[in-house]
Structure 1
Amino acid sequence: MSSHHPNGQADIAVYIGNGQSGDIHVLRLSVGDGKLSLVQRQPFPGLEEPGRSLPLALSPGREFLYAAMRGTPRGIASFSIDPSTGALSALGFAAMAESVAYIHTDRSGRFLFGASYDGNLVTVGPIGPDGMAQDVTQRVATAPHAHGIMSDPANRRVLATSLGGDLVYSFDFDHVGGALAQPRTTSLPKGTGPRHFVFDPNGRYLYLLGELDASITVFEYDAEKGTLHSKQSVSTLPAGFDGAAWGSDIHITPDGRFLYASERRSSALASFGVETDGRLRPLQNVPTETQPRGFGIDPTGRYLLALGQLTDHVTVYAIDGADGALSMTDRIAVGSGPDWVEMVELES
């Protein structure tokens, strides 16, 4: 079956990590109408106890998917991706001492980074030529509750967050040997709780989500020095919201024009227009699935998928290319406690 529609656009493979059921749902997103269909339910071999969440990461070439098991056994499962159907095949499992809340490959796909919220550290481990994640080779202590980690677009530095320390680390990265060194730190206002972050497509700006105040801090990123300079802070909370903030996830469209963030207590998605100087212009707050811990934007930038950690459903929204507005195209049940989504464009 061809994954191409008459307009020549390929369908999208969708991977949803279900933290409570401890499995991955593989879905197919039709780019023609924004509808989802089930391809595969991938259980974890030897899973004894699911974890609180199931973080996922893709290889840069989209051939491999990595999943961090936070339950028992702990570790990283590696899967190969069928380029035409999106179906997963298990490659193997690398045990870990730590529960990692976030994983990401470096830009070459040769190393996998982890951020351990419970262990207050970040990790690095090699990825074999066969695409399988290997045992961790470096652990670096951080201030409490490391929560996000990613290399910069040049792959020269690795940035990581400490939610409890209100810090962003910028490590020098040896991309040959895969080692972190000499971290600089950037402090945020006390009580921000830095969690996840994204770079704009040009690597000039970094957008950081605060879990504890649901803010987005806009930084100018100096790639030469690996330093951050704060430009703006905006709230993602809906007008009139007076509960305790609980920010969860942040993503930017591939063209860098629109940015979205999810907040769990208001169960809403905040959307922003991105100005030419990197600043954010608030657009709207859209009610979504209950407790949207994770969401994602497909590689073409046409659809946004939001997961309801408490509803066990995923909602698909079409993104309006003119103003970033979201309109629902589908909603289906997935596994229990969905909290992570990654997407790959399929071959025809």
Structure 2
Amino acid sequence: MSVKRALGVAAIVLGTAVVSGVSQAATYAYVSNADSQDISVFSLDESNGALAPVQTVAVAGTVMPLALSPDHLRLYAGLRSKPYRVVSFAVNPLDGRLIELARAPLADSMAYVSTDATGRYLLSASYGGNLLAVNPIGRDGVAGDVQQTVKTGPMAHAIRTTSDNRFAFASVLGADAWLRLKFDAANGRLADDAAPAYSLPPKSGPRHFVFSPDQRFTYLIDELDGKLHVLAFNRAGDNVKPIQTISILPPDFSGDKPWGADIHLTPDGRFLYASERTSSTLAAYKVDTASGKLTRIGTYPTEKQPRGFNIDPSGHYLLAAGQLSTSLSAYRIDRKSGALSAIGQYPVGKGANWIEIVRFDGTNGN
């Protein structure tokens, strides 16, 4: 399908959604499967957490990082096989299906993609290329060609902007650094600061991170040492202060080395979860929203080598994939304790590694 025709089809679909409205609230999950080179699409029943297959979308490349636009009407998929590309999809709010709109070059093999707060720019981090990059996103929601690259230390792993769009932060695994870069939202330009926002102990390997809903705290998971860091962010002074470091490893951990992967908060910020690949477990924590500090709730077995997981927008369910598993596990989150209870397993493709979840509220948006 040509770009022009794809945009036309997407406009018709989205226009229908605006006119008729989605009949009821609907939640959809997207799972990237690197080895089978496709994306699994599911609908999620909010009443019980059950998943139903909707679509399998071939992407003809090693698909890994995914990112949703702020309005949730676009999904961006990064391909880590040559030629390195970002695929822009329209998300149909009527049934969750994806419509491919276009492909554009990425600066390298990107381990992470995200949008800025406005959805006008796609930011990415390259583990192998040791760089960050920016692609513009057009008014049609389609990502364009690379407009900027910024060199980092070895193994850049993740990049996210703050909610006010003043800064982008990036973790650089090989440099044990968490970078702060000023972000010019008017033209999508990153300006690197001379010193990291936070320097971690040697061989920590900072990987993914999330901001608390009020943006007062950042939770940063290490890949190499089994640790999770809580950082306080002073937005007035633009500085970062460490307030806690806690283990993600199960009490009976017996592997050769830790292998931290992903981290997510419930939307209300009350519970946090982290995945550890060597033990194939999820660690759960209660968050003191006043201090940002964490208290361990428990450890839960999950799919083998859980590189990616996510939490639905209601905060009731957690979905986890394993890179060495062809199943997706669904869990119910206890709203009082944060404990997880397994409620189902569902087939996905090979090399499942990333999950994004979107909810449409039953009118014409989310």
Range of TM-score over shorter length: over 0.9
User: Residue in 1 aligned with 2:98?
Assistant: 88
The number of aligned residues is 338
Give the conservation status (yes or no) of the 8 Å contact 1:168–1:187: yes
User: Residue in 2 aligned with 1:153?
Assistant: 163
SS of match in other structure, 2:64: coil
Give the conservation status (yes or no) of the 8 Å contact 1:107–1:153: yes
1:123 aligns with 2:133: yes
User: Residue in 2 aligned with 1:15?
Assistant: 30
Give the conservation status (yes or no) of the 8 Å contact 1:217–1:233: yes
Give the letter aligned to residue 42 of structure 1. V
Q: 1:32 Cα deviation (Å)?
A: 1.1
Distance (whole Å) between structure 2 residues aligned to residue 87 and residue 170 of structure 1: 36
Give the conservation status (yes or no) of the 8 Å contact 2:107–2:133: no
Distance (whole Å) between structure 2 residues aligned to residue 162 and residue 135 of structure 1: 24
User: Residue in 2 aligned with 1:297?
Assistant: 311
210, 217, 222: which one aligns with 1:205: 217
Q: 1:83 Cα deviation (Å)?
A: 1.1
Give the letter aligned to residue 261 of structure 1. A
User: Residue in 2 aligned with 1:320?
Assistant: 334
In 2 relative to 1, CA 278–2 (structure 1 residues): closer, same or farther, beyond 3 Å?
A: same
278, 292, 295: which one aligns with 1:265: 278
Q: 1:22 Cα deviation (Å)?
A: 1.2
33, 45, 58: which one aligns with 1:43: 58
SS of match in other structure, 1:80: strand
Give the letter aligned to residue 29 of structure 2. V
Give the letter aligned to residue 255 of structure 1. D
**Which aligned segments of 4 or more residues in structure 1 are displaced greater than 6 angstroms?**
none
Give the conservation status (yes or no) of the 8 Å contact 2:78–2:113: yes
**CA RMSD in angstroms, aligned pairs only:** 1.3
172, 178, 195: which one aligns with 1:168: 178
Gaps of 5+ in 1: 5-9
Instruction: Write out aligned runs for 1:1-348 (5 A).
Output: 4=24, 10-44=25-59, 47=60, 50-51=61-62, 54-183=64-193, 184-185=195-196, 186-243=198-255, 244-275=257-288, 276-348=290-362
Give the conservation status (yes or no) of the 8 Å contact 1:264–1:291: yes
TM-score, with normalisation over the residues of structure 2? 0.90
Give the letter aligned to residue 208 of structure 1. L
TM-score, with normalisation over the residues of structure 1? 0.95
Q: 1:96 Cα deviation (Å)?
A: 2.4
Gaps of 5+ in 2: 1-20
Q: 1:329 Cα deviation (Å)?
A: 1.5
Give the conservation status (yes or no) of the 8 Å contact 2:138–2:144: yes
Moved more, 64-73 or 202-211: 64-73
Give the conservation status (yes or no) of the 8 Å contact 1:291–1:310: yes
Identity %: 45
Distance (whole Å) between structure 1 residues aligned to residue 44 and residue 23 of structure 2: 10
Give the conservation status (yes or no) of the 8 Å contact 2:107–2:146: no
